[in-house]
Amino acid sequence: MSGHRCSSASIVCAAVVWSVLALAPRPAAAAPPHRDADPGCLARAKAGLATAARVGDKSSLAGEDYDVRDYRLQLSLDPDVATYQGVVTVVYVPGLEYEGELVLDCVGPVVSGVTDGEAALPFVQSGGALRITTTGKREAAVDSVVVSFGNALPLREREGLSLWYWDFPEDTDPVISSMSQPDAARTWWPCKDRSDDKARCRVEIRAPAALTAVSNGSLVDEVDHGDGTLTRVWQEDYPIATYLVSVALSDYVEFGSMCTTAEGSVPLRHWVQPDDLTDAQVDFAPLCDMIGALEALVGRYPFAGEKYGHAEFLNMSSGAMEHQTVTSYGRNLIRGNNHYDWIMVHELAHQWFGDALTPRGWQDIWLNEGFATYFEALWMEHLHGLAPDGDDGYFYWMRSKRWASDWIGETPVYDPFPILDQVVYDKGAWILHMLRGRMGDESFFELLADWTSSVRLHGVVDTQEFVDLASEHAQADLTGFFTPWLEATTVPHLTFETLVLDGPAGDGTRLQVRLRDRSGVSFDNVYPVRVTTEAGEEWRAMRLVGAGSTQAFDFTTAVLSAELDPLGWVAWRLAAATPDPLRLLRAYPNPSFNGVVALVYVQQDEAALDLEIFDAAGRRLYRRAVAAAGSALDEREELWHGRDDAGRAVPSGVYWARLSGDAQSTVLKFAIVR
């Protein structure tokens, strides 16, 4: 500040002082346009599956010592007897570490036999794994096993393959359908249930001829067995993750059309319950326009030569699942008034983000859900524009994803707990929104097109790969931008102070800005500043890395006022108005080598808390009450001695701590090594 004097024409008082601009608090997120559904219904429906308890560990037991190339899944389904029989042929290539034991994930099916196509092979089914002894260590050549299995069809189970009825409780008009995200494919067929080993898949479904069987890819054959049953053969020629393999069987009616866009043609096919046909024809009518809009941004529909469409199901009656080439669509979403177009475009976007580009591991799930949620906003921009105000359009939609709590104290976006927490969707979308604001439209959309280019398409991707590509397009290292938004559980808590000084152009033409972040996290953000001068509005960008920055901006006429980020390109809060409500800060030592872990947290309000410890499978191992300690923002600690509620020492592994109380919750991951 030295060397400058306060001009009589300045908008501040004669003494040289810093003035804090009056910034209106951000309103709580309003309901998005054209819908009265809770925007979190997709996440809650999926999260219910992702945290459900079941036999076996949630992580895959199948190893990395072999690579699956093809599955041939043959199923016999009959709703009248509520059982299923199956045979799966697994074509694989052994890796250098393979020593003759092929391990498949298998929790629900009962295996009756395994062969190599000719001779029987020894196997053991135990603890969620099917261990098959082949013939010793193999060279890197294609091999295969054939597994026969079956079991009863569970009734009205949202997870896995289940029997439902359109007319409940009368239990008439059956539908058999699957829902496997994130790791429930193993509950109905033996497979390598990992997202990072995609393979081609042929699904053959034998069922009563009066019913229609739907699966991924293209219908390549129908076989009438002459006994009242029919086999429909679906071939998915693009690599597919096991959680995306779909089965839907019912007395469907089918309708569709050919969608022609600037990029090519896509057959649209939909299968719905007969009573819902008229409404579905209205609701699915915008689909071709959606495909054209997405193709203009990220390239041709990634499953060219196959189909896209929907199969109605009940596993999530108010949600949907992005099964590759045929989204499973909840019955309650079909209304005949386009009320849920936002869900339809969300699932369509998954065909690129999740299906064609599949996360290497579930810690990267934001690359699915954050991107698909962001494309809801891009669709609204396509329809209504980028105007910052109004009841429609891009900015309105993004504001609808901004929580009143700004996700403070919730799970991080990267490696979340639970896997499909709503934070992954909404904060994930906001990371892309903020990245767009920082990079500018040209570089940002070039990045998206590059991300979905043939270099990565139909493979597996991870967060670091996206960070590296974004940095390349931005021509700057964006690690400092991404890391806190992905891993921290707070947002910047800012003070924004201005001083108007005399500049080179005369009285009051220099604006000096001081920006401070009191979050305690080293964010790297670029904040837009709207400056009103006597000549009109101008914009300046102010970068803040860490705790504080002071910058000066010169103008050709006198400065009248300034606003920080008035359109909402960055998620931040006023420091004075928003102390941290409840937040776990860190665990130490991490990892712990003796099982004792100190959990450090801050708490604004005087309230009793619950401390809970979960393992990586989502099972709660430990719970105790934490007494209220008075309102303060000083750091506090709670010790956990590495034992469950029964006093047993927990094994080595990754664990999650959760503190909760008075409708607030905060989670933190740590590790124990014994």
Show which of 574, 605, 632 is a domain's final residue.
574
Is 315 among the domain residues?
no
What is the distance in angstroms between the CA of the first residue and the CA of the last residue of the chain? 56
Whether residue 243 lies inside any domain: the answer is no
**Whether 514 and 589 share a structural domain:** no
Amino acid at 113: G
Residues 6+ apart with CB under 8 A from 183: 58, 59, 60, 105, 193, 243
Q: Note whether 220 and 234 are within 8 A (CB).
A: yes
Which single residue is written with the structure tokens 């309103």?
27
Assess whether 609 and 651 both reside in one domain: yes
Find, among 140, 39, 600, 108, the residue nearest to 342 by Cα. 39
- In a domain, residue 352? The reply is no
Residue 647 belongs to a domain: yes
pLDDT below 70 — which residues of the chain? 1-58, 136-139, 576-581, 629-634
Is the domain of 588 the same as that of 637?
A: yes
* Domain assignment of residue 361, yes or no: no
Residue 629 and residue 567 in one domain: no
Residue 506 inside a domain? The answer is yes
User: Residue 358: exposed, middle, or buried by beta-carbon count in 10 A (0-12, 13-18, 19+)?
Assistant: buried
For 329, the token pair is 């669509």
Please report the pLDDT score of residue 473 as a whole number: 98
Measure CA 648 to chain center.
35
CA distances from 335 to 275, 283, 315 (A): 11, 7, 18
- Do residues 567 and 586 both lie within one domain? no
What is the CATH classification number for the domain harbouring 639? 2.60.40.4070
Please check whether residue 330 lies inside any domain of the structure: no
CB 493 within 8 Å of CB 572: yes
Same domain, 547 and 595: no
Q: Give CA–CA dist 405/91, Å, rounded.
A: 49
Instruction: Determine the pLDDT at residue 168.
Output: 83
Query: Where is the domain boundary, 541, 557, 574?
Result: 574
> CB neighbours of 630 closer than 8 A, spacing ≥ 6?
606
Indicate whether 459 belongs to any domain: no
| Cβ(291)–Cβ(327) below 8 Å | no
- Name the domain count of the chain: 2
Q: What is the pLDDT of residue 3?
A: 35
DSSP calls for 306-325: S-EEEEEESTTTT-EE--TT
Instruction: Give the pair of three-digit tokens for residue 48.
Output: 């219910």
DSSP structure class, residue 482:
H
Q: The domain containing residue 632 runs over which residues? A: 582-672
Same domain, 614 and 643: yes
* 600, 526: one domain: no
Q: What is the DSSP string of 523-557?
A: -EEEEEEEEEETTEEEEEEEEEESSEEEEEEE-SS
- Lookup: tokens for 5: 């004097």
Which among 383, 545, 577, 380 has a CA at the least distance from the CA of 479? 545
Indicate if 547 and 590 belong to the same structural domain: no
The amino acid that residue 418 corresponds to is P
Residue 380 identity? M
End residue of a domain, out of 574, 593, 609: 574
- At 7 the pLDDT is 29
Write the CB contacts of 322 (distance below 8 Å, at least 6 apart in sequence): 244, 347, 350, 351, 354, 355, 372
Q: What is the DSSP string of 328-340?
A: EEEGGG--SS-TT
Rg over CA atoms, the chain: 28
CB 43 within 8 A of CB 369: yes
pLDDT tens-digit map of 618-647: 889 999 998 876 555 567 888 899 999 999
Whether residue 599 sits in one domain with residue 566: no
Tell me the pTM.
0.84
CATH number at residue 542: 2.60.40.10
User: How high is the pLDDT of residue 285?
Assistant: 98
567 and 601 belong to one structural domain: no
- Distance of alpha carbon 318 from alpha carbon 332, whole angstroms: 5
Distance CA 155, CA 162 (A): 6
Cβ pair 291, 265 in contact under 8 A: no
Per-residue buried b or exposed e for 16-48, using 16+ beta carbons within 10 Å of the residue's own CB:
eeeeeeeeeebeebeebbeeebebebbbebbbe
Angle formed at CA 427 by CA 284 and CA 183, multiple of 5 degrees: 70
Cβ neighbours of residue 188 closer than 8 Å, sequence gap 6 or more: 84, 108, 109, 151, 160, 161, 178, 180
Q: Is 176 helix (H, G, I), strand (E, B) or coil?
A: strand
For 420-459, b where at least 16 C-beta lie within 10 A, e where not — what string? bbbbbbbbbbbbbbbbbbbbeeeebbebbebbbeeebbee
* Same domain, residue pair 528 and 591: no
Spatial separation of the C-alpha atoms in residues 289 and 238, rounded to whole Å: 24
pLDDT of residue 374: 98
How many angstroms separate the CA atoms of 193 and 60, rounded?
6
